[in-house]
Amino acid sequence: MSKGSSAGSGGGWSLPFFRKRAAFYIDGFNLYNAVDAYKRPYLKWLNLKALGRAIAPKSEVVKRVVWCSAFSPTNRSKLKRHEDYMKALKGQGVICRMGHFIHAMDGCNACGHKWQVAVEKQGDVNLALSIAADAEDDLFDVCYLVTADGDHAATARYLKERFPKKKLVLVTPPGRFHNRNIERIADSCVEITTAHLEASLLPQMAKYKHRFLGRGEKVERPEVYDPPELREKSHLKLIVNNG
């Protein structure tokens, strides 16, 4: 770790009313792509509230988690998993700011061939506005910015210039490097590890809606996100049944 690292195991113990208020602002696709690179689908069923608690030191209390993402309608099965994941996060108290995709044309200048690409919109803006508004409303003492994308350097700079007493921690997704432009501005940096991910998974049946009377609604973990041991058991059961 570089530049004044911060981790969940440090900081000692503080009385609740002396603990600083921490807020996590998560670049959803940046984190997703980093986790996806590990080729362990079960790590995608990630409890972002628990992840924040694993990263923040004991001298802080995680008061707010904001996840910025967007639905891509091009693949129905992926869209369903994305929607279910959002429901599971909301059940944990995570604030979900959703953008959208547009279709744009791209092409090769050499051969003239053109094709259509899906482009995410509003994700960066939603994250920037969330940080700015929450800082203005004094909802946190420590801002954890989860990204490796240098586009958020302007947001980091605004926060430190406008609210110099608020601490900014750059949280880099697993397997990525700290973004240098944000690292120069941040007070400290921390890296998400696979150990953080493994310790912060949602249950198979995640609470979605809580009801005062009666049972609340739950969302089931997609089968493709089952941990390896469950997938192996299902495979063995299938072999036995087909034997």
Q: What single-letter DSSP state applies at residue 203? A: P
Q: State what percent of residues in the chain have pLDDT above 70.
A: 77
Q: What is the pLDDT of residue 34?
A: 98
- For residues 190 and 147, give the distance between their C-alpha atoms in angstroms, rounded to a whole number: 11
Would you state the structure tokens that stand for residue 166, as one six-digit string? 């608020």
Residue 136's pLDDT band (boundaries 50, 70, 90)?
A: very high
pLDDT tens, position by position, 159-195: 999 999 999 999 999 999 999 999 999 999 999 999 9
Residue among 15, 20, 92, 90 nearest 56 (CA): 20
Architecture of domain 16-242: 3-Layer(aba) Sandwich (3.40)
| Residue with tokens 């929607």, as numbered in its chain | 83
Rounded mean pLDDT, 110-117:
68
pLDDT tens, position by position, 83-95: 999 999 999 999 9
Q: What single-letter DSSP state applies at residue 163? A: -
Is a pLDDT exceeding 70 seen at residue 5? no
Provide CB contacts within 8 A for 206, sequence distance 6+.
87, 88, 91, 92, 218, 219, 220, 221
Q: What is the pLDDT of residue 10?
A: 47
Q: What is the pLDDT of residue 238?
A: 37
pLDDT tens, position by position, 21-80: 999 999 999 999 999 999 999 999 999 999 999 999 999 999 999 999 988 777 788 889
Q: Given phi > 0 = left and psi -120 to 50 = alpha, else beta, which region is 53? A: alpha
* C-alpha of 88 from chain center: 13
Per-residue buried b or exposed e for 177-214, using 16+ beta carbons within 10 Å of the residue's own CB: ebbebbbebbebbbbbeeebbeebbbeeebbbeeeeee
* Higher pLDDT, residue 12 or 148: 148
- For residues 24 and 224, give the distance between their C-alpha atoms in angstroms, rounded to a whole number: 27
Longest Cα separation, the chain = 68
Q: What is the pLDDT of residue 209?
A: 73
Residue among 147, 93, 158 nearest 124 (CA): 147
Q: What is the pLDDT of residue 215?
A: 65
Residue 241's pLDDT band (boundaries 50, 70, 90)?
A: very low
Sorted by where each begins, the domain ranges of the chain are 16-242
